[in-house]
Amino acid sequence: MRARLLVPLSGDPEGTPPWVLRLERGDDRGLFEEDGAAWTVHAGIPTLVAGIRALLLQALHPGAMAGVHDWSRYREDPLGRLSGTVRWVISLTFGSREQVEVELGRVGRFHSSVRGEYAAADGERRTYTAEDAELVEWVHLAFTDAFLTAHERWGGAIPGGADAYVSEWATAGRLMGVSDPPRTAAELHARQHRFLADGTLQGGERVDDVVRFLRAVPVEGVALRTGYRILFAGAVATIPREYRRLLGVRRTWLPAVAATRLVLRIAERGLGAGPRAHDMARLRLRRLDAAAGPTP
Protein backbone atom coordinates (compact mmCIF):
# COMPACT_ATOMS: atom_id res chain seq x y z
CA MET A 1 0.00 0.00 0.00
CA ARG A 2 2.83 2.39 0.86
CA ALA A 3 4.44 1.90 -2.55
CA ARG A 4 1.15 2.37 -4.39
CA LEU A 5 0.46 5.59 -2.48
CA LEU A 6 3.97 6.98 -2.92
CA VAL A 7 4.22 6.57 -6.70
CA PRO A 8 1.53 9.19 -7.50
CA LEU A 9 2.69 11.44 -4.66
CA SER A 10 6.42 11.45 -5.36
CA GLY A 11 7.01 9.43 -8.51
CA ASP A 12 9.00 6.87 -6.50
CA PRO A 13 7.75 3.73 -4.67
CA GLU A 14 10.06 4.53 -1.73
CA GLY A 15 9.01 8.18 -1.58
CA THR A 16 12.61 9.37 -1.93
CA PRO A 17 13.23 10.58 -5.49
CA PRO A 18 16.22 12.94 -5.96
CA TRP A 19 14.16 16.07 -5.31
CA VAL A 20 13.06 14.71 -1.90
CA LEU A 21 16.65 13.80 -1.00
CA ARG A 22 17.71 17.37 -1.84
CA LEU A 23 15.54 18.64 1.02
CA GLU A 24 18.38 17.60 3.30
CA ARG A 25 20.84 19.79 1.42
CA GLY A 26 21.32 23.54 1.39
CA ASP A 27 22.76 26.20 3.66
CA ASP A 28 19.66 28.08 4.82
CA ARG A 29 16.43 27.39 6.65
CA GLY A 30 14.16 27.88 3.63
CA LEU A 31 11.09 30.07 3.23
CA PHE A 32 8.95 28.87 6.12
CA GLU A 33 9.38 28.37 9.85
CA GLU A 34 9.88 24.81 11.05
CA ASP A 35 6.57 23.44 12.36
CA GLY A 36 4.86 26.71 11.45
CA ALA A 37 1.52 26.98 9.66
CA ALA A 38 2.71 26.01 6.16
CA TRP A 39 4.80 23.11 7.48
CA THR A 40 1.87 21.81 9.51
CA VAL A 41 -0.70 22.00 6.73
CA HIS A 42 1.48 20.61 3.95
CA ALA A 43 2.84 17.76 6.06
CA GLY A 44 -0.68 16.65 6.99
CA ILE A 45 -2.54 13.72 5.45
CA PRO A 46 -5.58 15.95 4.54
CA THR A 47 -3.48 17.19 1.60
CA LEU A 48 -4.73 14.06 -0.22
CA VAL A 49 -8.20 15.62 -0.26
CA ALA A 50 -6.95 19.17 -0.71
CA GLY A 51 -5.30 18.34 -4.03
CA ILE A 52 -8.58 17.06 -5.49
CA ARG A 53 -10.51 20.06 -4.19
CA ALA A 54 -7.96 22.53 -5.57
CA LEU A 55 -8.11 21.01 -9.06
CA LEU A 56 -11.92 21.13 -9.05
CA LEU A 57 -12.03 24.80 -8.06
CA GLN A 58 -9.22 25.84 -10.41
CA ALA A 59 -11.16 24.36 -13.34
CA LEU A 60 -13.94 26.92 -12.85
CA HIS A 61 -11.89 29.75 -14.34
CA PRO A 62 -12.22 29.41 -18.13
CA GLY A 63 -8.69 30.72 -18.68
CA ALA A 64 -7.16 28.26 -16.25
CA MET A 65 -9.33 25.52 -17.73
CA ALA A 66 -8.12 26.39 -21.24
CA GLY A 67 -4.52 26.08 -20.06
CA VAL A 68 -5.23 22.63 -18.64
CA HIS A 69 -7.12 21.56 -21.77
CA ASP A 70 -4.50 22.87 -24.20
CA TRP A 71 -1.28 22.08 -22.38
CA SER A 72 -1.68 19.66 -19.49
CA ARG A 73 -0.78 15.98 -19.87
CA TYR A 74 -3.15 14.93 -17.12
CA ARG A 75 -4.98 12.43 -19.34
CA GLU A 76 -1.90 10.74 -20.75
CA ASP A 77 0.04 10.76 -17.48
CA PRO A 78 -2.24 11.70 -14.56
CA LEU A 79 0.07 10.32 -11.89
CA GLY A 80 3.06 12.12 -13.37
CA ARG A 81 1.07 15.35 -13.45
CA LEU A 82 0.10 14.86 -9.80
CA SER A 83 3.63 14.07 -8.65
CA GLY A 84 4.89 17.20 -10.45
CA THR A 85 2.45 19.34 -8.48
CA VAL A 86 3.38 17.58 -5.23
CA ARG A 87 7.05 18.26 -5.98
CA TRP A 88 6.34 21.99 -6.37
CA VAL A 89 4.40 22.23 -3.08
CA ILE A 90 6.88 20.19 -1.05
CA SER A 91 9.98 21.88 -2.47
CA LEU A 92 8.68 25.38 -1.73
CA THR A 93 7.49 24.40 1.74
CA PHE A 94 10.43 22.37 3.04
CA GLY A 95 13.36 23.08 0.71
CA SER A 96 16.28 25.47 0.99
CA ARG A 97 16.11 28.72 -0.96
CA GLU A 98 18.40 27.21 -3.58
CA GLN A 99 16.00 24.31 -4.09
CA VAL A 100 13.08 26.75 -4.26
CA GLU A 101 14.85 28.65 -7.05
CA VAL A 102 15.47 25.42 -8.96
CA GLU A 103 11.81 24.46 -8.63
CA LEU A 104 10.58 27.89 -9.69
CA GLY A 105 12.84 27.63 -12.73
CA ARG A 106 11.43 24.22 -13.63
CA VAL A 107 7.84 25.44 -13.43
CA GLY A 108 8.68 28.73 -15.13
CA ARG A 109 10.25 27.00 -18.14
CA PHE A 110 7.05 25.07 -18.72
CA HIS A 111 4.78 28.06 -18.12
CA SER A 112 6.74 30.21 -20.58
CA SER A 113 5.21 28.29 -23.49
CA VAL A 114 1.65 28.12 -22.15
CA ARG A 115 -0.56 30.45 -24.15
CA GLY A 116 -3.75 30.37 -26.18
CA GLU A 117 -7.34 31.62 -26.34
CA TYR A 118 -10.50 30.97 -24.38
CA ALA A 119 -14.14 32.05 -24.38
CA ALA A 120 -14.91 34.20 -21.34
CA ALA A 121 -18.26 34.05 -19.55
CA ASP A 122 -19.48 37.04 -21.60
CA GLY A 123 -18.72 35.20 -24.85
CA GLU A 124 -15.67 37.31 -25.69
CA ARG A 125 -12.57 35.54 -26.99
CA ARG A 126 -9.55 36.34 -24.86
CA THR A 127 -5.92 35.40 -25.08
CA TYR A 128 -4.13 33.92 -22.08
CA THR A 129 -0.66 33.03 -20.87
CA ALA A 130 0.38 31.16 -17.74
CA GLU A 131 1.62 34.46 -16.29
CA ASP A 132 -1.70 36.33 -16.61
CA ALA A 133 -2.35 38.06 -13.28
CA GLU A 134 -6.00 37.00 -13.07
CA LEU A 135 -5.31 33.34 -13.79
CA VAL A 136 -2.36 33.15 -11.40
CA GLU A 137 -4.43 34.78 -8.67
CA TRP A 138 -7.36 32.37 -9.06
CA VAL A 139 -5.06 29.33 -9.01
CA HIS A 140 -3.41 30.63 -5.82
CA LEU A 141 -6.77 31.36 -4.16
CA ALA A 142 -8.18 27.93 -5.05
CA PHE A 143 -5.04 26.18 -3.81
CA THR A 144 -4.84 28.09 -0.53
CA ASP A 145 -8.52 27.65 0.23
CA ALA A 146 -8.44 23.93 -0.60
CA PHE A 147 -5.48 23.11 1.64
CA LEU A 148 -6.75 25.30 4.47
CA THR A 149 -10.27 23.87 4.33
CA ALA A 150 -9.11 20.25 4.17
CA HIS A 151 -6.80 20.71 7.15
CA GLU A 152 -9.46 22.48 9.19
CA ARG A 153 -11.88 19.64 8.49
CA TRP A 154 -9.59 16.62 8.93
CA GLY A 155 -6.32 17.88 10.43
CA GLY A 156 -5.23 19.19 13.80
CA ALA A 157 -4.60 22.72 15.00
CA ILE A 158 -2.68 25.13 12.78
CA PRO A 159 0.00 27.16 14.62
CA GLY A 160 -1.27 30.74 14.57
CA GLY A 161 -4.60 29.66 13.09
CA ALA A 162 -6.03 29.98 9.60
CA ASP A 163 -4.74 33.52 9.12
CA ALA A 164 -1.17 32.37 9.77
CA TYR A 165 -1.40 29.77 7.00
CA VAL A 166 -2.90 32.20 4.48
CA SER A 167 -0.25 34.79 5.36
CA GLU A 168 2.64 32.33 5.12
CA TRP A 169 1.51 30.80 1.83
CA ALA A 170 1.15 34.30 0.37
CA THR A 171 4.93 34.04 -0.04
CA ALA A 172 4.43 31.26 -2.58
CA GLY A 173 1.76 33.33 -4.31
CA ARG A 174 4.14 36.25 -4.75
CA LEU A 175 6.84 33.94 -6.12
CA MET A 176 4.36 32.69 -8.73
CA GLY A 177 3.41 36.21 -9.78
CA VAL A 178 0.44 37.18 -7.57
CA SER A 179 1.05 40.86 -6.89
CA ASP A 180 -1.07 41.16 -3.73
CA PRO A 181 -2.05 37.75 -2.33
CA PRO A 182 -4.51 37.66 0.60
CA ARG A 183 -3.05 37.63 4.09
CA THR A 184 -6.10 36.51 6.12
CA ALA A 185 -8.73 33.80 5.73
CA ALA A 186 -11.48 36.43 5.50
CA GLU A 187 -9.66 38.22 2.68
CA LEU A 188 -9.06 34.90 0.92
CA HIS A 189 -12.74 34.03 0.89
CA ALA A 190 -13.77 37.56 -0.11
CA ARG A 191 -11.40 37.46 -3.09
CA GLN A 192 -12.78 34.08 -4.15
CA HIS A 193 -16.34 35.34 -3.91
CA ARG A 194 -15.44 38.31 -6.10
CA PHE A 195 -14.56 35.94 -8.95
CA LEU A 196 -17.90 34.21 -8.44
CA ALA A 197 -19.98 37.38 -8.10
CA ASP A 198 -18.65 39.09 -11.22
CA GLY A 199 -19.41 36.07 -13.40
CA THR A 200 -15.80 35.16 -14.18
CA LEU A 201 -16.24 31.55 -13.09
CA GLN A 202 -18.26 29.17 -15.24
CA GLY A 203 -18.99 25.53 -15.85
CA GLY A 204 -19.39 23.91 -19.23
CA GLU A 205 -18.28 20.96 -21.29
CA ARG A 206 -14.58 21.26 -20.44
CA VAL A 207 -15.30 21.51 -16.73
CA ASP A 208 -17.63 18.50 -16.96
CA ASP A 209 -14.85 16.56 -18.64
CA VAL A 210 -12.35 17.36 -15.88
CA VAL A 211 -14.90 16.48 -13.18
CA ARG A 212 -15.56 13.11 -14.82
CA PHE A 213 -11.84 12.43 -14.95
CA LEU A 214 -11.18 13.50 -11.35
CA ARG A 215 -14.12 11.44 -10.14
CA ALA A 216 -12.45 8.24 -11.33
CA VAL A 217 -8.70 8.85 -11.68
CA PRO A 218 -7.07 5.57 -12.80
CA VAL A 219 -5.24 4.19 -9.77
CA GLU A 220 -4.05 0.63 -9.25
CA GLY A 221 -6.00 -1.76 -7.06
CA VAL A 222 -9.62 -2.00 -5.90
CA ALA A 223 -8.80 -0.72 -2.40
CA LEU A 224 -7.07 2.42 -3.70
CA ARG A 225 -9.81 3.10 -6.25
CA THR A 226 -12.45 2.81 -3.54
CA GLY A 227 -10.46 5.00 -1.17
CA TYR A 228 -9.92 7.62 -3.86
CA ARG A 229 -13.64 7.80 -4.65
CA ILE A 230 -14.34 8.42 -0.98
CA LEU A 231 -11.72 11.20 -0.93
CA PHE A 232 -13.35 12.73 -4.01
CA ALA A 233 -16.72 12.69 -2.21
CA GLY A 234 -15.08 14.29 0.81
CA ALA A 235 -13.58 17.04 -1.35
CA VAL A 236 -16.99 17.75 -2.91
CA ALA A 237 -18.63 17.85 0.53
CA THR A 238 -16.40 20.78 1.57
CA ILE A 239 -17.11 22.90 -1.54
CA PRO A 240 -19.80 25.59 -1.05
CA ARG A 241 -23.05 25.05 -2.92
CA GLU A 242 -22.61 27.88 -5.45
CA TYR A 243 -19.31 26.41 -6.64
CA ARG A 244 -20.74 22.87 -6.71
CA ARG A 245 -23.53 24.12 -8.94
CA LEU A 246 -21.02 25.38 -11.51
CA LEU A 247 -19.08 22.13 -11.26
CA GLY A 248 -22.22 20.07 -11.74
CA VAL A 249 -21.56 17.96 -8.62
CA ARG A 250 -23.70 17.16 -5.59
CA ARG A 251 -22.93 16.07 -2.09
CA THR A 252 -23.52 12.37 -1.62
CA TRP A 253 -26.16 11.23 0.86
CA LEU A 254 -23.49 9.02 2.41
CA PRO A 255 -21.44 10.33 5.40
CA ALA A 256 -18.58 11.47 3.15
CA VAL A 257 -16.76 13.52 5.79
CA ALA A 258 -16.66 10.65 8.29
CA ALA A 259 -15.73 8.12 5.60
CA THR A 260 -12.94 10.41 4.39
CA ARG A 261 -11.57 10.64 7.92
CA LEU A 262 -11.36 6.83 8.03
CA VAL A 263 -9.63 6.61 4.63
CA LEU A 264 -7.12 9.27 5.67
CA ARG A 265 -6.28 7.35 8.83
CA ILE A 266 -5.65 4.20 6.79
CA ALA A 267 -3.53 6.15 4.30
CA GLU A 268 -1.54 7.75 7.12
CA ARG A 269 -0.74 4.34 8.58
CA GLY A 270 0.27 3.12 5.15
CA LEU A 271 2.64 6.06 4.68
CA GLY A 272 3.92 6.03 8.26
CA ALA A 273 7.07 3.97 7.71
CA GLY A 274 10.18 5.52 6.24
CA PRO A 275 11.46 9.08 5.86
CA ARG A 276 9.05 11.81 4.82
CA ALA A 277 9.76 15.14 3.15
CA HIS A 278 9.66 17.15 6.37
CA ASP A 279 11.94 14.59 8.03
CA MET A 280 14.55 15.27 5.34
CA ALA A 281 14.13 19.02 5.87
CA ARG A 282 14.67 18.59 9.61
CA LEU A 283 18.00 16.90 8.92
CA ARG A 284 19.11 20.06 7.09
CA LEU A 285 17.94 22.28 9.93
CA ARG A 286 19.67 20.18 12.59
CA ARG A 287 22.89 20.31 10.56
CA LEU A 288 22.61 24.10 10.38
CA ASP A 289 21.90 24.28 14.12
CA ALA A 290 24.96 22.18 14.88
CA ALA A 291 27.16 24.34 12.66
CA ALA A 292 25.90 27.51 14.36
CA GLY A 293 26.80 26.16 17.80
CA PRO A 294 24.90 26.66 21.06
CA THR A 295 22.83 29.79 21.51
CA PRO A 296 24.54 32.22 23.94
**pLDDT over 90 percentage in the chain:** 57
Residue 296 has a pLDDT of 59
Q: Domain-by-domain residue ranges, the chain?
A: 47-79+99-271
For 145-199, the pLDDT digits (tens) are: 999 999 999 999 999 999 999 999 999 999 999 999 999 999 999 999 999 999 9
How far apart (Å, rounded) are the C-alpha atoms in residues 99 and 147? 22
Residue 52 pLDDT exceeds 70: yes
pLDDT over 90 at 19, yes or no? no
**Cα gap 169→172, rounded to integer Å:** 5
Q: How far is CA 7 from CA 1, 4, 57, in A?
A: 10, 6, 24
Helix (H) or strand (E) holding 116: strand 115-119
The three-state secondary structure class of 149 is helix
Listed in sequence order, the residues at least 6 apart from 233 whose beta carbon sits closer than 8 Å to its beta carbon are 251, 252, 254, 256, 259, 260
pLDDT of residue 68: 75
Helical segments of 95-184, H only = 97-111, 133-154, 161-175
Q: What is the mean pLDDT of residues 243-247?
A: 96
DSSP string, 203-221: --HHHHHHHHHHHT---SS
Task: Give the pLDDT band (50/70/90) at residue 79.
Answer: low
pTM equals 0.90
Helices (H), the chain: 2-10, 18-21, 37-42, 47-58, 62-71, 78-94, 97-111, 133-154, 161-175, 185-197, 205-215, 222-237, 241-247, 256-271, 277-292
Dist CA 135 CA 128 (whole Å): 8
Q: Is 253 left (phi over 0), alpha (psi -120 to 50) or beta?
A: alpha
pLDDT at 203 over 60: yes
Q: What are the residues whose beta carbons fall under 8 Å from the beta carbon of 248, sequence distance 6 or more?
A: 203, 207, 208, 211
User: What CA–CA distance (Å, rounded) separates 76 from 72?
Assistant: 9
**Chain mean position to CA 212:** 19
